[in-house]
Every structure is written in structure tokens, then in C-alpha cells.
Amino acid sequence: MDSTSQSRRKRTLLKVILLGDCGVGKTSLMNQYVYKKYSEHYKSTIGADFVTKELQVDDRTVTLQIWDTAGQEKFQSLGTAFYRGADCCVLVYDVNVPRTFETLNTWHDEFSRQADLDNPAAFPFVLLGNKIDLAIGQNLTVCEEKVKEWCESRGNIPHLKTSAKENYNVEDAFLCVAKIALENEHQEDIYFPGFSESVSEPEQRSSCAC
């Protein structure tokens, strides 16, 4: 095995955390992705901090460990265990409710502070505008231009519109999460030889950017 494949096999567990206002569909997105289930009246499972799902990213098997909240996001007091060691932070808003987009600043700052990020602009975030099924045929309530600007101002965060209800873009969203987290891992790996990888990186990134 050469050093490149050793580096690829080194760590395949990625901790992903879902953040955003209560009611935007975080739990629904996670359930749709992991269990292929959607319910209007989902009750969070008491005691379950995270769920895992395996997926294939190119030639690599990756396990996503997805951390959801059990309603504590109302108080923005999720505790350091929630944030510690995160590889990607997924920020979720409801495309039909502007307030849920406005509060993303708070969630982004909260995460950057709690996870103790030296350089938040380099950390992999993914933005999901959920409940797109409710917005079909109308102008989006949350201004697309504003969202684009916000993503750019926060270090070019990839943005996808999803529907947990219709299972639209959910698989792609988490694939994007896995890819962007793996890209970051490569950048942090000071021993990684990197040459061939850095050539293919822009291609991978553009597949999930908005």
C-alpha cells in the first residue's frame, strides 16, 4: 500500500452536526436520509445523540455520524460534546420563512465559537434551504441573491435546496457534506502528498456548490 492509500484509509468516520432553528426540518432531513422515512409528527428519540450512515465517496467508504438536536436548539444550549470534533456543520433554514435564514448568522457564530475554530472561513459548512416543495411555482420567500451573498461572505459555503418530504436533493446534500468534509481532511493532513488530489479537487467541489 503506498502512502496515498494509507492516508485515504486513515479516518473514515466523519462527525456531522445539524444546526438551525426549530422546525426547519433538521430531524426530517436526517430521517429521510438515514431511514428513508418522513413523518409530519416526528418525535425525537430520547437518548439518541446521533445516527450513522455509510456511503461511498469515489473509491472510499465513509461513515457519517450525524448529530441532531432533540429540541434544545430553542435555547441554543447544545453543550460542547455536541460540537466537539465536528468535521462538517450543516446549517438548515426553511426557504419559506425568512427569519430562519436571518438566524443563520447566530448559528454560524455559535458553532465557530463552541467548536473553537481558528479559521471559520476554512471550516466545511453546508447550507440547506429545506421545504422547497412548499415553494414550487412561486418566488422564493427568502431572496436567492441574499443567500448567495451570505454563502460567499462566509467562505463560499455550498448551498442546496432540499425537501425532506419529497426526498428531493437529500441524498445529494449529504454526499456534498461527505465530500467537503473529506476535502478539508486532506487539507489538514500535513503528510498527505497531495499533488494528484489537488488537481481533482475543484471538480469535486463544483459538483455541490450553488
Q: Which does 96 bind (CB under 5 to 8 A by kind): Mg ion, ligand GDP, none?
A: none
Question: 94 vs 185, which CB is nearer to Mg ion?
Answer: 94
Question: 24 vs 88, which CB is nearer to ligand GDP?
Answer: 24
Instruction: Compute how many residues bind Mg ion; rule: CB under 5 A.
Output: 1
Q: Which one, of 113, 61, 46, lies nearest residue 86 by Cα?
A: 113
Q: Measured between alpha carbons, how far is 36 from 52 in angstroms, rounded to an integer?
A: 13
Query: By CB under 6 A, is residue 24 in contact with ligand GDP?
Result: yes
Question: 27 vs 130, which CB is nearer to Mg ion?
Answer: 27
Candidate list 27, 100, 103, 169; residue touching ligand GDP; CB under 6 A: 27
Query: By CB under 6 A, is residue 22 in contact with ligand GDP?
Result: yes
Query: By CB under 6 A, is residue 25 in contact with ligand GDP?
Result: yes
CA distances from residue 185 to 28, 110, 127, 209 in whole angstroms, order as listed? 28, 22, 19, 18
| SS3 category, 88 | strand
Query: By CB under 5 A, is residue 27 in contact with Mg ion?
Result: yes
- Shortest distance (Å) from residue 80 CB to ligand GDP: 21
Q: Measured between alpha carbons, how far is 109 from 208 in angstroms, rounded to an integer?
A: 23
- Return the number of other C-beta atoms located less than 10 Å from residue 141's C-beta: 13
Q: Measured between alpha carbons, how far is 198 from 19 in angstroms, rounded to an integer?
A: 30
Query: By CB under 5 A, is residue 31 in contact with Mg ion?
Result: no
Return the residues of window 78-137 that contact ligand GDP according to CB under 6 A. Answer: 130-131, 133-134
Residue 182 contacts residue 14 (beta carbons within 8 Å): yes
Q: Which does 145 bind (CB under 5 to 8 A by kind): ligand GDP, Mg ion, none?
A: none
Q: Measured between alpha carbons, how far is 21 from 141 in angstroms, rounded to an integer?
A: 17
Residues that bind Mg ion (CB under 5 A): 27
Residues that bind ligand GDP (CB under 6 A): 22-28, 40, 42, 130-131, 133-134, 163-165
